[in-house]
Amino acid sequence: MKVYTKKGDKGSTGLYDGKRVSKGSFRVEAYGTIDELNSYIGLTKTYLDDEEDVKFLTEVQKRLFVVAADLATSDGSKLKDKVGEDDVAEIEKAIDKYLENVPNTFSFIIPGDNEKSAHLHVLRTIARRAERRVVHLAEVVECNEEETPINPYVMKYVNRLSDMFYALSRKVETGYTKVEFNK
């Protein structure tokens, strides 16, 4: 089987439900950014020492495939698996665990304390961008009666991911430089 179909040579792609859309659509931008996030998680895992953290991030990657599938369909009824409340709760539980022994969690931190932390901060910013793309898609879909609204748990899940990457970055830092702002 070949990985190329030539169907996208003129700038369109097929969604999960078979509908064809422009590769420049908000939907493709949203699930493409989720794909980028997933790939960068894979890179970041190669720098981490804690097997539990690696295992957890692998589970996040699996759920991101579900998120991407959800975003890659205009008819949500065709999906068997969706991100839900339990997925959001798992991320919140991880955030709390990662921050339980971290001092000063409400200050701005200059990223780059060490390689692990720096990669996690990049993940945090990719997750924030992914969230903006998902929100924009949700706004566009809201105006189109032919499409199923975006799963609200997708937005919550992606929102929590950036907090989780921040929390994990703080956990793996050996020291940190706090940024003070003069008002």
For residue 161, the model assigns a pLDDT of: 98
Residues of the chain with pLDDT under 70: 104-106, 146, 175-183
pTM, 2 dp: 0.90
Name 159's Cβ contacts closer than 8 Å, sequence gap at least 6.
131
- Phi and psi torsions of 139, nearest 5°: -65, -40
Two structure tokens written together for 133 = 């793309």
For residue 76, the model assigns a pLDDT of: 78
| Residue-range domains of the chain with CATH | 21-175 (1.20.1200.10)
For residue 183, the model assigns a pLDDT of: 57
For residue 3, the model assigns a pLDDT of: 81
